[in-house]
Chain A
Amino acid sequence: MYQYDQYDQAMVDARVAEFRDQARRRLDGSLSEDQFKPLRLMNGLYLQLHAYMLRVAIPYGTLNSRQMTALADIADKYDRGYGHFTTRQNIQYNWIKLEDAADILADLAKVEMHAIQTSGNCIRNISSDHFAGAAADEIADPRPVAELLRQWSSFHPEFTYLPRKFKICVIASEADRAAMRLHDIGIQLIEKDGELGGRIFVGGGMGRTPMIAPEIRSFARMDVLVSYIEACLRVYNRYGRRDNKYKARIKILVHELGAEEYTRQVEEEFAHMLDVGVEPPRAELARISAYFAAPPFTDGPKTVDRSDPDFALWVDRNTHRHKHDSYVSAVISLKPVGGIPGDATGEQMRVMARLAKRYSFDEIRIMHTQNVVLPHVKIEDLPALWSELDEAGLAAPNMDTIEDMIACPGLDYCSLANARSIPLAQRISERFDASGKTGELGELKLKISGCINACGHHHAGHIGILGVDRKGVENYQLSLGGSEAEDVSLAKITGPGFTEDGVIEAVDKVTDVYLAKREGDERFLDTYRRIGMEPFKEALYG
């Protein structure tokens, strides 16, 4: 993975110094809260429901054991012994003090980490495929491009006060494992006439008005990619709406102009950018790419002893095919039945760090589905790995099942929320585990958001749940048929909302409809797409 040189290190150090000074000026009153808020947001520091919350960046979801250990240390020293892994591959701490924030950033800088631009109306963490560098179906590792864009976007002087937040995703396979089409800019690396480049999508997003990003350019050569992205951003900075916070994302601009007109404006600005000359030297991508060379894989057995049924189930559900046939990528589930999705204690983080060092060439990934990946695990090491995960409560064999749900922190933690999402997630996972339905249902992506901001990605859930405030009481809307994969689609609401008890019953009912109606090896999503909403509506509302 990428290692800082003295330039990168100096940048994060300068940022820590800058923030330390800004925090000082806030505490002594030279800066008002209105003046300070955008500055602290650009360092990932929110004022949240219980305290300040710090969102630390995990660039394109990649970190090593030293960094994971540092995250554990922060949890223990400055917070309450745990952290939450997010739907943008970052980590959040919920009990931070402003007076500690600069010290935390300094501790992060020591291990080449930061909280730069993890909030605010600027370019956020660039996300990618959690199986990058390991997946058999990628045409290249997308992360060098993500790193190139991370540096380009950090402290970009023109794009620091955008109309709204800006999220970029880079993948390199036809399979979309990172919800690429639901980003402000999505880039799919492809090859054309022997050259590497990007297929560019602009204007996707969830939130209040979910939209799937249209393709803006079918191919932008790698050696002009930064110029093209810069052009996309400049058009947005100049013409994105600033009159209404809820209409300020680029998806609204692309929608209102139409993809064709937006593209025309970008192409014009792109031609201008080529004249101006903003592209980094070609050698820079090559330099970065060298850090992502494959680790020294060695041959070994390609199968495991499946005589232990619990182990076999975990292998079937939680491992993913690797480009080297003696290896797999292994998913560490942070969704224990009845647990809080995405949370890990400092102790668990240390376990994951140790296991990564021992079994995965010291590399860890964070999934946008709030789980953790060890990307390169030798098949022959799987039994030992599983045994250690099991001991640490990290071996729930439920990847991509209904128990592997995404849930935002919700009203228990978030001041934006209308309803709690975590208790719902806990009750659903307990119920389906107890009834044994989890296994019967197979692949089922349930996503829960506690408010319309959709941080739980409910629009992209096979089953989605949205928490709302109905006259001061928590209420839940159910939706069906969303997908964040390459078969991207937005879920549709079933009808009137439910109480907390009611929506749990509702999930049971719709899954029963699926079990009754499915044909062959259809997933829930496939059956829904074949039979439509009516049978589900019938079961729910009679």
Chain B
Amino acid sequence: MADAFDSEAGSLGASPDEVQFRFRDDEVADHGTVTVDAALDQTNATAVRIEPGDDARLLLPFLDRLALIEINFPSFADGRGYSAARILREAGYAGELRAVGDVGVDQLSHMRRCGFDAFAPDTQLDEADAERAFATWENVYQRAADARATIAEKRHEA
């Protein structure tokens, strides 16, 4: 499953059918993800999995060859993945950014705002709850990785 790690084949990561929600038009990325360390060695890696302790900025030189970046949330309470996601989007990463691991309904809207466009939770989520969760905020106070205009910007539209 998602936790299986085979360093030879580099095939950790969620499989396409484990992606429960996706906000992209292209094909679900089906590349075996490798660790950040491995990606720095292998010049042909196209999919990487970031753990909470990894520095996402190490990937900045290689972003245009990556089609998929998974960010693992071993525990939903460890919020480092949100910074990693935003950092990658701020650097211009345009591929699939997938949240995996302990992803619950109540984390979805913030993850989306931080730039995640695919979600492969360890436990399948209730579809209706998830739909509601993604739509929680009609407006937003602060800038994030999504393109949403902030409330302050709307207040002062010319």
Measuring CB to CB, which residues of chain A are less than 8 angstroms from any residue of chain B? 5, 7-8, 10-11, 14, 18, 21-22, 25, 30, 35, 38-39, 121, 151-152, 154-162, 234, 237-238, 242, 272, 276-278, 280-281, 283-284, 287
Contacts and interface: CB of A to CB of B under 8 A. Distances in A.
A145 to B, nearest CB: 14
A199 to B, nearest CB: 23
Contact of A158 (B132, B144, B151, B154): B144
A154 B142 CA distance: 8
A151 B141 contact: yes
B79 A11 contact: no
A276 B142 CA distance: 13
A38 B3 CA distance: 25
A157 B110 contact: yes
Contact of B79 (A25, A160, A278): A160
Contacts of A5: 155
A158 B82 contact: yes
Given A21-B132, A155-B141, A160 B155 contact: no
B158 to A, nearest CB: 10
Contacts of A38: 76-77
Interface of B: 52, 76-80, 82-84, 86, 90, 104, 106, 109-111, 113-114, 126, 129, 132, 136-144, 150-156
Nearest to B142: A152
A14 B90 contact: no
B79 A283 contact: no
Contacts of B144: 157-158
Given A158-B144, A162-B79, 13 more contacts: A10-B138, A10-B139, A14-B138, A35-B104, A157-B109, A158-B79, A158-B83, A159-B82, A160-B82, A242-B80, A278-B143, A283-B156, A287-B156
Contacts of B156: 281, 283-284, 287
A278 B113 CA distance: 14
Contacts of A10: 138-139
Contact of A157 (B84, B114, B139, B154): B114
Given A151-B151, A157-B114, A284-B155, A14 B142 contact: no
Contacts of A14: 136-138
Contact of B83 (A121, A237, A284): A237
22 contacts: A11-B139, A14-B136, A18-B136, A21-B132, A22-B106, A30-B129, A35-B76, A38-B77, A151-B142, A151-B152, A158-B79, A158-B86, A158-B144, A161-B78, A161-B79, A161-B82, A238-B80, A278-B142, A280-B150, A281-B153, A283-B155, A287-B155
Contact of B90 (A25, A272, A283): A272
B127 to A, nearest CB: 13
Nearest to B53: A242
Nearest to A235: B83
Contacts of B80: 237-238, 242
Nearest to B144: A157
A7 B79 CA distance: 27
Contacts of A237: 79-80, 82-83
